[in-house]
Structure 1
Amino acid sequence: MIHEVDEALRALLRGALPEGTGDVVFEAPTRDWAARRNAPTLNSYLYDIREDVARRERGAFAERGADGTVLRRRQPLRWFRLSYLLTAWTNRPEDEHRLLSAALGTLLGHEVLPPDGLPDALAALRTTLPLSVAVPPPESRSIADIWSALGGELKPSLDVVLTVPFPVSPTYEVAPPVTEGAAVGIRGLDGEQGEARPRMLRKQRTEPLPAETDWGRANAHRDDAHRSTGPQGKGTR
């Protein structure tokens, strides 16, 4: 999934490059890489991947068919924050600042990755992919430490963060829905199998309950009188 996000970000950043020149790359901006560069370049280096735990969900989700029948169940998506170190590389600092400014203006115009520029794998998720740029990184990360690890000198850069979902496998197939009622078999005392009669599930009662008939009401009054007098014919509480 990460390489699809790279392609979507590359397509967005190409609009900031001078027409017909330059490229967007994702290599680590080390000294050796900088020495081989020979054209205006936007380097978008992926330096950090962390789960967005605030978006984590529990349980399983049902996937339904066209008729609403549950076909399978799957675990919810897990969202991750992909952090990119965006830098501009040319022969003159002024040109680098101009290129970095164009990249900032391009990214500020989008709060999410443009849907029309998403690869098929991302478009199939049918969800928006949030984008943030130049937001101060957490205290646990330092841009200076990143440049020290790369072995290069500190350069002006933009911190670009994309929040994307990752599908969690596996999915769980479910049994087909019940379409027929249960059948009850009757066996006589002599062991002979009787006729099996179908019994519909959740059948609505149409005949009155015993207490709702005249016989039931009469017996209910008799029982109440018996409880009020007690077995000795005397009133009880």
Structure 2
Amino acid sequence: MIHEVDAAMRALVEQRAIANDEVEVVFDAPTREWSGRRNSPTIDIYLYDIREDMRRRERGLLNEYGDPDSSEASRVIARHLPPRHFKLSYLITAWTQRPEDEHRLLSELLSCFLRYDALPQELLGGELAALQLPVPVTVALPPPEDRAFADVWSALGGELRPSIDVVVSAPVDTGQHWAAGAPVQEPARINIAGRNGWPAQESYGGSRPRSEPPRDTARVSMRRRRGRRKP
């Protein structure tokens, strides 16, 4: 899934954000050593954090139905867990010889990402496209309380630079599927043992027997009389 999001991010930047073919798009960690080797205009899309999006987690099971063009279109053939969503956080930076050119590239990137609430479906591939679910994108939101962008740059060993934080919430199939049982073709048959010499009866679908032996009304009335209390 991660490599499919990477491919969609690259296509979005190259096709709809920048018009200059001389700008290279990479996914390297922007460390001090890496920046010293860079010698051409570059946009770096660095993936620095992966965590589950708990707000999008669903419970229960989802039904899978048969071929819609067949008679089994309404029959449940399997069940599976809902997909889980994971937030992929990208630190996007521009690297050129002049700060003005870097700011121009960042402005084009920001305008591009603001046009989309989700990654375009035509740019998705593989299992990410097979799920047919939206892939939401958030741009330049404040960082979580447990993480600051300065801490990311400190961990990379580089100097703090202007950047755009883009978070992609991508669905992932859990792979947990269960086949459904065969449909019921006829009502269940229950045999009820006979009593007092009467033959056994059959009940369908849990209904009462078609006939019952006569009740001993004398014994019933005697039990009722014994249960009454004298005034």
Q: Pick the TM interval, shorter chain.
A: 0.7 to 0.9
1:184 & 1:85 partners in 2: Cα distance? 67
Which residue type is aligned with residue 7 of structure 1? A
2:206 & 2:24 partners in 1: Cα distance? 67
CA deviation vs aligned residue, 1:119-149 (integer Å, no higher than 9, x gap):
1321111111111111111111111110011
- SS of residue matched to 1:113: coil
2:198 equivalent in structure 1: none
1:34 & 1:68 partners in 2: Cα distance? 58
List aligned pairs for 1:143-222, cutoff 5 A.
143-182=149-188, 201=205
Which residue type is aligned with residue 50 of structure 1? R
Which residue type is aligned with residue 25 of structure 1? V
- Report sequence identity in percent: 49
Rate the CA distance shift 1:161–1:184 in 2: closer, same or farther, 3 A: closer
List aligned pairs for 1:14-163, cutoff 5 A.
14=14, 15-65=16-66, 66=68, 67-163=73-169
Query: Does the CA contact (< 8 Å) of 1:181 and 1:199 recur in 2?
Result: no
2:26 & 2:83 partners in 1: Cα distance? 28
User: Where does the alignment leave 5 or more consecutive residues of structure 2 unmatched?
Assistant: 194-201
Query: Does the CA contact (< 8 Å) of 2:191 and 2:203 recur in 1?
Result: no
User: Where does the alignment leave 5 or more consecutive residues of structure 1 unmatched?
Assistant: 188-197, 211-218
1:22 & 1:199 partners in 2: Cα distance? 78
- SS of residue matched to 1:147: helix
Which residue type is aligned with residue 79 of structure 2? R
Which residue type is aligned with residue 159 of structure 1? D
Q: How much has 1:51 moved relative to structure 2?
A: 0.9
Query: Does the CA contact (< 8 Å) of 1:17 and 1:23 recur in 2?
Result: no
1:184 & 1:18 partners in 2: Cα distance? 75
CA deviation vs aligned residue, 1:22-58 (integer Å, no higher than 9, x gap):
1221110112211222222111111111111121122
Q: How much has 1:85 moved relative to structure 2?
A: 0.4
Which residue type is aligned with residue 125 of structure 1? L
2:127 & 2:169 partners in 1: Cα distance? 15
Aligned residues: 211
1:40 & 1:16 partners in 2: Cα distance? 15
Which residue type is aligned with residue 170 of structure 1? Q
2:21 & 2:154 partners in 1: Cα distance? 33
Q: How much has 1:95 moved relative to structure 2?
A: 0.5
CA RMSD in angstroms comes to 3.2
1:4 equivalent in structure 2: 4
Structure 1 stretches of 4+ moved >4 Å: 181-187, 198-203
Rate the CA distance shift 1:202–1:23 in 2: closer, same or farther, 3 A: farther
Rate the CA distance shift 1:33–1:201 in 2: closer, same or farther, 3 A: same
Q: How much has 1:91 moved relative to structure 2?
A: 1.1
Which residue type is aligned with residue 164 of structure 1? A
Which residue type is aligned with residue 128 of structure 1? P
- SS of residue matched to 2:11: helix
- SS of residue matched to 1:153: coil
